[in-house]
Amino acid sequence: MDIGISIRSMGTQSTRDLVAACARAAEEAGFESIWIADHIAIPPDDAEGSGGRYLDPLATLAWLAGVTERVKLGSGVLILPYRAALPTAKQVATVQELSGNRLLLGVGIGWMDAEFRALGVDRRARGRISDETLAFLNDCFSQDEVSLNGQTFLFKPRPPRPPILIGGRAPHAIERAAKYGDGWFPMSRTPQNLAAPIREYRELTEAMGRPPGQIAVSTRLPLDDEPRTRALLDEYRTLGVDRLVCGLGYDTIEEFRSRLESLAAALA
């Protein structure tokens, strides 16, 4: 089971120096991937913990590609209906190209009413918009010539398509993942409720004649309780989880490194 690390791209922890230091520390410690979250327009009454400060995920990953060498770079998750399909595809292809094919594209449909209002996007249309964007992304990475709005154009650079991991809850997210993606990427505090939807996802991909997709889970582990953390890691492995993306609480690089050490000890 691969282990990814969420790096805080919000609030006081999202400074240039701290974000870079955390990315390098995770890479040096041998973790598989680093992940950046997505919010675009936090209202004042919902800004606790972030102060409304969020870095753009794709811009941040592009920058982190330049300060790291090996670690994979994940969006956890990029909200598709917030962004126009063509510029998004171009940004994704650019990050993939310049990072040396290290991008892991986690995507979702979004949930925060205020952000949809700020963008002027109908929240009720988020599923349809996301499906259309996913279909377009797949087209872009499968052929040099692509058509949109009646116009054919060249889509280059066209590096290998990054793995697309669909975030969200069952049943809609697993249906979307089976149809358009390479895996399902739920959030879960414990593994207990994942067995049935993972089985449903596997059955869906098989019924569609598609390869079994990855299961990536975003979670937090009780790192101050090593026996409990070890037990949870074993449960996720038993479920067939391919990648665990771990959120960490920290304010300084010293605290971040300490959390990494605790996680590494539980994995040993």
Which domains are delineated in the chain?
A: 2-166+186-197+216-267 (3.20.20.30)
- Residue 108 pLDDT: 98
H/E run at residue 12? none
H/E run at residue 22? helix 16-28
Q: How confident is the prediction along the chain (268 residues), in pLDDT tens digits per residue?
A: 999 999 999 999 999 999 999 999 999 999 999 999 999 999 999 999 999 999 999 999 999 999 999 999 999 999 999 999 999 999 999 999 999 999 999 999 999 999 999 999 999 999 999 999 999 999 999 999 999 999 999 999 999 999 999 999 999 999 999 999 999 999 998 999 999 999 999 999 999 999 989 999 999 999 999 999 999 999 999 999 999 999 999 999 999 999 999 999 999 9
- Residue 64 pLDDT: 98
Angle CA(14)–CA(16)–CA(22) in degrees, nearest 5? Answer: 70
- Residue 266 pLDDT: 98
CA 141, distance to chain mean position in Å, is: 19
Backbone angle region of 150, left / alpha / beta, with phi > 0 → left and psi within -120 to 50 → alpha: left
**Are β-strands 2-6 and 33-36 bridged in parallel, bridged antiparallel, or unpaired?**
parallel
> ω into residue 171 within 30 of 0, thus cis?
yes
- Residue 16 pLDDT: 98
- Residue 61 pLDDT: 98
Q: From the CB of residue 159, how many other CB atoms can be counted at a distance below 10 Å?
A: 18
- Residue 268 pLDDT: 94
